[in-house]
Structure 1
Amino acid sequence: MKNVAIIGSSGGNLFNHGGQDAEKLLQELLVQCEAAHMQVNHVQFIGADASMDRAKQTTGATLYTIVEGDIRPIETGQLQQINEAAAQWDAQMANHIHSGEVDGLIVMSADPKNANRAALRAAIERQIPIVGTGGTAMADIQASGANVIASSGTTGTTNRTRAISFVAALAKHGGVKFRPQLSKDFNNKNQKNPLKNINIKGIMMTSLPAFIAMALILALSKVPLFSGLAVVFDVLIAALPVVIAVVAAKQVSDLDEVSIVAGVIAGTLSIEGGIIGGMIGGILAGISVNVLFMQMIRWRFPMTTVNIFAGGLAGLASGLVVFFVLGPIALQAGELVRSGIEGAIAFNPMLAGTLAGLLIWPAILGGVYHAAILPIVLFEMERTGASFLGAVDLVSLVMVAAGINLAHVFFPKQRGQAALAAPGVTINLGFGTFVESAYPFMFSSKIIFAGAIVSAGLGGMMVGLFDVRGTAYLPTFMAPFASTDAVGLVVSMMVAFVCAFVVTVVANRVLGRAAR
């Protein structure tokens, strides 16, 4: 089973399950074939602009083939015109099959009476194994005496799961070892063990937009005109475990929509366990969906059944484990983390804020921020939508970076620095992120670097003084509204900003002039 050919079209029901993007559909097949050490040498595929169930002769369509390993469109026009062109390629495909260049055939929503007639006749005569989808077409092909080794519907399938199913059937028939390719990196050893795909930092980072959306709603809900959004805020807090579960399941299994569905089910059942419960449920769902999916393929279940049951059962089983067993434990673990943070702050909030401010720049420069600080921020935000370390993040990182950048806009040390700093300060103030924009200036001057650390510590001390909770990743004019003390946060922001600005101006103008 070395050489494989692909024929067919974007189909009717297939069009709604990935067929509308013909190039992506075909590319997924190439990826899985390569994982099984099979080569796709010949392709004749029609991609229409609408489902074939309602397509007309005037519907737009494109004929695709493969050239030097790449899927390429070779002709575009109306469906009638493309069908005529496909007939010519059909004759060539038949010749390739007759000459023994094709060991297996993948068929998707084919036309055995017209556009694919010659190729299918050749496949029947040579009795090469055929796998495919498309109810009516596959029934006609089987009735014609073809060697169909796997056939299924398209409902509930995705481009990836269909491709895995097709290639797994061909590989088993040909005695070829096949491990599905779930990553763009063919050298990714993690595919052999889904447990190695578990990345807590990655899950947290990817889930961050959900927390920021919650913080935005919190800020808006404090405006009298939008006070009704307080109910939405409560809904978003409850949904956080679901978001994290989906991200975790997708990260571990990467079976497209199947893993997403499993994550949603597991996350819904893990809500009572908080974000730790959601993460556990999602990880279990990702592992389970992989195991069930491959086992059902080995048992030769229909592809539709594989998708529906693998996603549904994996999500349900994982969610129930968290719901009845692990949820309360996960909830207590989250509470312990939050209690530890609150205990440290309660002991001496100014000292806690100062230490956090002094350490936050070394943490982000050393790669510790995303691995340790950000998860803690998210744990704090899970309950109230705001965080002590989140406020320190905004004040000691974002505002300090903004102060450094703005100083270089108005008082640059060298020509060109203003143009470099302007986008940075805009993003700092407008989006509450991109503190990396200050790196070039900090690394080029020990005074600016030291000023950033001192400003961050001073800003953190002010956060502790006002005992304020907040978050970064918001426009600076909105951040105070998402905090527990708008005035305290504004004062803390201004202290850190002004301090960083002044130190940078002194470094650039006074000390810079003395050095010259």
Structure 2
Amino acid sequence: MKRIAILGSSGGNLYNLGGKEPLKLLGEIETQASSAGIKIAAIQFIGAKASMDNANESTLSRLYTWNSSEENIVFSEEKALKEVNGEAKKVDSIIAKMIEDGKVQGLVLMSSDPEGVNNLSIKAAAKKDIPIVGTGGTSMATIQSMGGKVIATSGTTGTTNRTRAVAAIQSLSRHWGLKYKPVISSSGKSSQNLDENIFQRISFRGIMMAAIPGFIAMSIVLALSKIPGLAKLNDAFDLLIKGLPVVVAAIAANQVSGLDEVGIVAGVVAGMLSIDGGLIGGLIGGILAGILAFYLIQLALRWNFPGTTANIVAGGLSGLISGLIVFFLISPIALSLGNGIRYIIELALNYNSIVAGAIAGLLIWPAIIGGVYHAAILPIVLLEMEKTGASFLGAIDMTGLVMVSAGITLANIIYPKQKSESAIAVPGFLINIAFGTFVEASYPFMFSDRLIFIGAILSAALSGVFVGIFNVKGTAYVPSVTAPALSNNALGFTISMIIALVSSFLITLFANKISRNKRNKEA
């Protein structure tokens, strides 16, 4: 098994590109090394509180090292940089001895100091002719002049902790003939192989859930634009609508690629070119960008591109290619699909909004319990909001789920079956009212009592009837007291919400009373 030492510092330019978070930077290298079957033998890394371009002897810093017995990263207390450098030189001599003894077979350098605190280690590495990889143009050039066997070097511009780690370990693995596949890290440990799981990471639910804040922001701007004197916000609303595909594309590319900022850049580029395709166009563009970004960075590194160039290829070229595919080929189809879904909903509402509301309310609880809500209904809610800032199904969500859950939990606060249930119900009620989410808080009560379960479905259907009567369009995921203001009919939405809460509250009270009476008789 090959063993490496990681040397360097938080750097100058590196400081602003991940170097100021040494644990993440070092943890990412550890993760990628583990995927290749490479062990960490030693670490000597100086993490300063400022860029080394501006640091001085008194700048607070820490020395990060490797605990070989526990196999984890440890760090010192914060001290002046001058003092930390003194400690680092001691570690440097230890690592140099390890290299001389054959206990270290490779070096990974990040903004190292070959003429200072890393001098002995690098001289030993040059003498033993072991492979060296790393970033820091000036320092790596100095190492080559010292006779170091530099097999891969790169600047830091445009790179991230993950892509630097992937580039370093891929170069070492290729040099040693080791099998290596990049992985996603979790708390410094490998969690999943990136390319083996890349298509499994395409999660419409995850992408849409992450995009919700953008849609809520749009709704807030729309509501504010209705206030006298703030009509100019209509222009901001129109701009936000155009930007939504970019938001979705960036999230999709980041999640699918697993490359952090590189994936985000790819998604933004693809999203800007996918605007004409609407939300679906942005979604497709982002997913394509994420897939391309991952495979392009692997290809670029395999061809020995510097890390900076590999990042530019992955982030820029993948976004451009996928965006142009959507722009020229997919946008018209995606736009038609989105418009078609909205048209079907509008058709149902125009035919009989009351029946449509009742059916939607009746099915909303089975949908969320069965896992259909986040996979199918939520994307439709966001598709509706994409054009108007509010949604028919979004209103059903708030009335049929959030307010019904609030009614159930409120009843269990005031008149629970057992006193202990009141404490369970309080957080659920407060979160539903304050944040417009966490409908799962009512599950314990619904699943333990068939009458409460039926009451929840009937209350949701009843509130849906009133949503249909008032032709309400709104959203959940906002405080319940503000939800009516973000709808197209504040009074109608308020009435529908109150009906949902009161209905579920009364049915739950009735169910709890029956349960209490039954228990008292048995006692």
- TM-score, L = length of structure 2: 0.96
TM-aligned CA deviation for residue 511 of structure 1: 5.5
Task: Give the whole-Å Cα distance in 1 for the aligned partners of 2:193 and 2:116.
Answer: 44
1:62 aligns with 2:98: no
TM-aligned CA deviation for residue 189 of structure 1: 5.5
SS of 1:192's equivalent in the other structure is coil
Task: Give the whole-Å Cα distance in 2 for the aligned partners of 1:188 and 1:92.
Answer: 34
- 1:62-211 pair list within 5 angstroms: 62-67=62-67, 68-184=70-186, 186=190, 188=192, 191-192=195-196, 194-211=198-215
Q: Which residue of 1 aligns with 2:418?
A: 414
Number of equivalences? 516
Q: Which residue of 1 aligns with 2:272?
A: 268
Task: Give the whole-Å Cα distance in 2 for the aligned partners of 1:497 and 1:195.
Answer: 41
Q: Which residue of 2 aligns with 1:233?
A: 237
Q: Which residue of 2 aligns with 1:40?
A: 40
Q: Which residue of 1 aligns with 2:339?
A: 335
Task: Give the whole-Å Cα distance in 2 for the aligned partners of 1:510 and 1:177.
Answer: 66
Aligned match of 2:254 in 250, 256, 264? 250
In structure 2, give the amino acid aligned to 1:233: F
Task: Give the whole-Å Cα distance in 1 for the aligned partners of 2:433 and 2:65.
Answer: 50
Q: Which residue of 2 aligns with 1:423?
A: 427
TM-aligned CA deviation for residue 236 of structure 1: 1.4
SS of 1:7's equivalent in the other structure is strand
Task: Give the whole-Å Cα distance in 2 for the aligned partners of 1:367 and 1:224.
Answer: 42
SS of 1:40's equivalent in the other structure is strand
Task: Give the whole-Å Cα distance in 1 for the aligned partners of 2:508 and 2:197.
Answer: 50
1:311 aligns with 2:325: no
| CA RMSD after TM alignment | 1.6
Task: Give the whole-Å Cα distance in 2 for the aligned partners of 1:431 and 1:74.
Answer: 41
TM-aligned CA deviation for residue 117 of structure 1: 1.1
In structure 1, give the amino acid aligned to 2:86: E
Q: Which residue of 1 aligns with 2:31?
A: 31
Q: Decide whether the 8 Å contact of 1:190 with 1:197 is kept in 2.
A: no
Q: Decide whether the 8 Å contact of 1:64 with 1:75 is kept in 2.
A: no
Gaps of 5+ in 2: none
SS of 1:198's equivalent in the other structure is coil
TM-aligned CA deviation for residue 144 of structure 1: 1.1
SS of 2:339's equivalent in the other structure is helix
Q: Which residue of 2 aligns with 1:367?
A: 371
TM-aligned CA deviation for residue 489 of structure 1: 1.1
In structure 1, give the amino acid aligned to 2:304: R
Task: Give the whole-Å Cα distance in 1 for the aligned partners of 2:472 and 2:161.
Answer: 49
In structure 2, give the amino acid aligned to 1:170: L
Q: Decide whether the 8 Å contact of 1:432 with 1:472 is kept in 2.
A: yes
Aligned match of 2:494 in 490, 496, 503? 490
Q: Runs of 4+ in structure 1 displaced over 6 angstroms?
A: none
- TM-score, L = length of structure 1: 0.97
Task: Give the whole-Å Cα distance in 2 for the aligned partners of 1:113 and 1:189.
Answer: 38
SS of 2:44's equivalent in the other structure is strand
Gaps of 5+ in 1: none
Greater shift, 406-415 or 99-108, is seen at 406-415
SS of 2:76's equivalent in the other structure is strand
- Residues 1:190 and 1:130: Cα distance change in structure 2 (over 3 Å): closer
- Residues 1:412 and 1:187: Cα distance change in structure 2 (over 3 Å): closer
TM-aligned CA deviation for residue 234 of structure 1: 1.5
Q: Which residue of 1 aligns with 2:397?
A: 393
Task: Give the whole-Å Cα distance in 1 for the aligned partners of 2:29 and 2:151.
Answer: 17
Q: Which residue of 1 aligns with 2:15?
A: 15
- Residues 1:83 and 1:187: Cα distance change in structure 2 (over 3 Å): closer
- 1:273-312 pair list within 5 angstroms: 273-312=277-316
TM-aligned CA deviation for residue 182 of structure 1: 2.7
SS of 1:71's equivalent in the other structure is strand
TM-aligned CA deviation for residue 74 of structure 1: 3.3
| Deviations 1:475-505, CA, capped at 9 Å, x for gaps | 1121111112111111111111111111112
| Deviations 1:60-106, CA, capped at 9 Å, x for gaps | 11111111221110353110001111111111001000000111111
Q: Decide whether the 8 Å contact of 1:398 with 1:434 is kept in 2.
A: yes
SS of 1:105's equivalent in the other structure is strand
